[in-house]
Structure 1
Amino acid sequence: MDIVQRLESAWQTHAEGHFEAALREYRALFDDAEAASLRLSYILAAWAKLAEEYLPAHHALVDLRNRLTNELPSAPQLFHDIRIINDKLGDLQNTYHLFQTLPEAQAQQNARAALPSIMACGDYALARRYLPQPEHHLALAAMQLNELKNNINVLTNEGMADMLAEVFNYTTEVALVLDLLNGCGDTDAAAIARQQAVSLVQSPEARACVQAELDAPGTTLDAMVELQNSVTA
């Protein structure tokens, strides 16, 4: 069987309640070099779902996180993997504390990925250290969205899907900036940034989507799911 077939087989094993066997296969798939493109998405998501139902799967996921942490000094790129595993475990404190142990050069490289965990743990001073100009970050994100939107035809389903994906990415950065400013007590700056997050978007279609997401978080994901369902129906 190829990797996709093995993953589908593991899903079926899991669905049938054979948790121990499913865990063995998820672990094997995660460590299989041929499954590298799926390991932090479909494989890890399936493993995390199993961990909600089967305590040994949770323990195994923690063990994996700890093993990668031990390998981190010689493989700095593993911080990315550890952070994603911690997100699945709901252990943002581990990401926060691990980030604090990184050498400065590695901390700079991983700061953006770690910022949500840092702020979730209430250390807005540390977050501001690694994002000292949040308004500039917002402007750069808007510039990127505007450039990408210029190459998207929203009159097609594919184009609309692409635009929604880019709006989702952009509003994720907006939420990060607003969280940081509010957490630092800069509520006036946060209010201005919220307005700018909309006004900086040039495309009327994208701007409307951004406004909708700010007014009702989750709107973009709902639209993406609805579009996908309409295409596959």
Structure 2
Amino acid sequence: MDELREIYQDALEAQEAGDHAEALRLHQHFYDYAAKQERNLHRFGRYALHHWKELGDFYPPALAALQALREREAALLLDGETMVAIADGSSEPRFPVIVDINHLLEDERATYELFQQFQAKLPEQAAQSFRYAAGAIVVCGDFQLASGYLPEPMAAIEEEAEYLNRLFREMAADTSAPSVMRLMADTLNYADTTLLQWQVLTGLGKEEKAREYAEKAEALLERPSLRQAIRREFAAPGSLLAESVQRQEAFWLRDET
């Protein structure tokens, strides 16, 4: 894993040094090779794409290459290759990678339109991938489409809150980096779910139910820090994701002891 990690670190060093062509080559190599060797690296590779996008902000060939990667992955998806094969024998869904790239490119409509195509060609697989496209669908204002995939909000939130509360009761004493990241990820999932339900209810004109739902989503959480996190996410959507990305990168690039 150290060798694979070095590819990413070398990409960042080349980018910092102004060797843009070399940085792009290494970003592509990391995505096409290293991120397909182990499941954890593939998942981290999704977070690492933001550095590729940063390179593209001042080096046009990098931006073009990222856009080309998106088109390649979308074509494979619609051809039925919905999973990415990993060398360790595992596999990961392809759709989330495309969603991540579109988000970096600030092109949520591309995700919305791709999901519609996905839904038309492979409805069962699209339904399994809805959660990745949900934000883009809401941004594009298709609240009816989103509501068709969501469970009844009031009943679902009780189950989701109990799961998060139980997880924190069981794991809060473990301050190791993997445990902290696990708790962060599940908190983020809860925040994403509650925010999405609230947005859909509001978009459908159900303002009173949306208000009741938001209050319940916060009140059901046992820990004050969790309630504050959810309140913060409603006030500034995306804040928890930004913190999660920073923690993921810091852990993966940590020095071995």
Q: Identity of aligned pairs, percent?
A: 29
> Is the aligned partner of 1:75 residue 2:81?
yes
**Which structure has the highest helix share of the two?**
1
Q: How far apart, in 2, do the equivalents of 1:196 and 1:120 lie?
A: 24
User: How many angstroms does 1:29 deviate by?
Assistant: 1.4
Unaligned runs of 5+ in 2: 84-93
Q: Which amino acid aligns with 1:15?
A: E
Q: How far apart, in 2, do the equivalents of 1:134 and 1:213 lie?
A: 18
Q: Please give the TM-score of this superposition, normalised by the length of structure 1.
A: 0.83
Q: How far apart, in 2, do the equivalents of 1:156 and 1:12 lie?
A: 31
Unaligned runs of 5+ in 1: none
Query: 1:201 pairs with 218, 221, 238, which one?
Result: 221
Give the superposed CA RMSD: 3.0
Q: Which amino acid aligns with 1:127?
A: A
Distance 1:222 1:133, change over 3 A: same
Partner of 1:10: 11
1:158-187: CA deviations, max 9, x gaps? 677765554333222211111111111110
> Is the aligned partner of 1:168 residue 2:168?
no
1:96-121: CA deviations, max 9, x gaps? 01111122111211111111010111
Partner of 1:40: 46
Please give the secondary structure, in 1, of the residue aligned with 2:148.
helix
Partner of 1:112: 131
Query: 2:65 pairs with 60, 68, 88, which one?
Result: 60
Distance 1:156 1:14, change over 3 A: closer
Distance 1:119 1:223, change over 3 A: closer
User: How many angstroms does 1:154 deviate by?
Assistant: 5.4
Count, aligned residues: 228
User: How many angstroms does 1:213 deviate by?
Assistant: 4.6
Q: How far apart, in 2, do the equivalents of 1:21 and 1:112 lie?
A: 35
Q: How far apart, in 2, do the equivalents of 1:113 and 1:219 lie?
A: 18
Q: Please give the TM-score of this superposition, normalised by the length of structure 2.
A: 0.76
